[in-house]
Structure 1
């Protein structure tokens, strides 16, 4: 009986001893695994943090790209508007330049007109005109030329061949002429025979005072230019050959 009790007691001790040992082993295993898994968990946690950071960065990058795209579109729109404004400004500048050129041309023309007006006020160069009666004349005293050259010479010195308008002017100029010399005047019938026209007015002359039987288109029907012909001791009008050489009288209306 005692022997049986002792065996039972020993068995209980063994069982309890085994449970305690098992608990100790379990505790040791947990601590061991925990020590082993802790670095792994730390690495996993770091990786998760990195993934989260990457996602955040990716989101920020996406937002940045979206913002950058919006800015690019905005800049492109602004560039387009600027280009359009520059184009409008260029067109406006061209129009302004054209207006400036036109105004410059008009100003230049006005200045030239004023300059010509001032030139007319200046004393006429070349031979001096003298007042005879109510007008100013230049009477050539030595050089004899044909009618066409006489027209040009009067033009060069600021006048025209004399255009006699009445008897008083005729009488006044006659008193200044050389005896035996002939002088060209401005009338001619080059356009139509017998119809004498004034070079100055391009109309029929206001005054005519012909020699007897003149004009007669004599000399082989070749007399078409007007002259003051000294004949029978008197200067009166005659139709002469335009190519022959006479003295000439220029007239200027300005004082």
Structure 2
């Protein structure tokens, strides 16, 4: 079972961390959670709630100092993953130009690529290694009640360039046909143009959008069950109300423990593996 290891760089944080919850290791402050086990996505949220972020370790010296305080039998979530691009480990949420970042890792030979889709990184005993998100979730977290993860995305998003959007009903959408991405990369692409993956509000809006998309094509939307299998929410946007979903007949299986992301197909919705490459729909985030 994995627990999360949280850290922050105080000068970059917008929310002030409660330092009473942290311990100083070297020149930085860390929070080591041993009691509560959760998914990587839920750990991401918990760290933000205490004014931090999942840790990215800066060098070998810091790794050794942290390692002395850990239970060697336990794996601790870190902030790196290759959710957006397989084999390229970066922090979440992804940033523009993130591919030029140089993050410290200390993988055993071959451990950074098991060939199992996308990975999130854990610190385990003496080594920093990646484990597949699918295996960790399905084997260890099926029965866990994880809370909805959210972050204050509006504070970090650029204003939408409405030239890249079209008005459908009362809102603005960008329908990406040319570039097919996995769900995580589509999430990033929408953020970079001042939007987010679309969350359709009602059947009227659904029908209007459907009139604009290609026939027999699956488009990523902003709804998923990444936090808890079988429960579809708007992670990481944080809306409290249940999202509008119009399932394609026979496709929803509440007993399916896989963690999936929703697509739009012919005015209906169905779930797909989030690692698949598909076109996507963004909505503009406009604050009054």
TM-score, normalisation: structure 1: 0.46
Higher strand proportion: 2
TM-score, normalisation: structure 2: 0.41
Higher helix proportion: 1
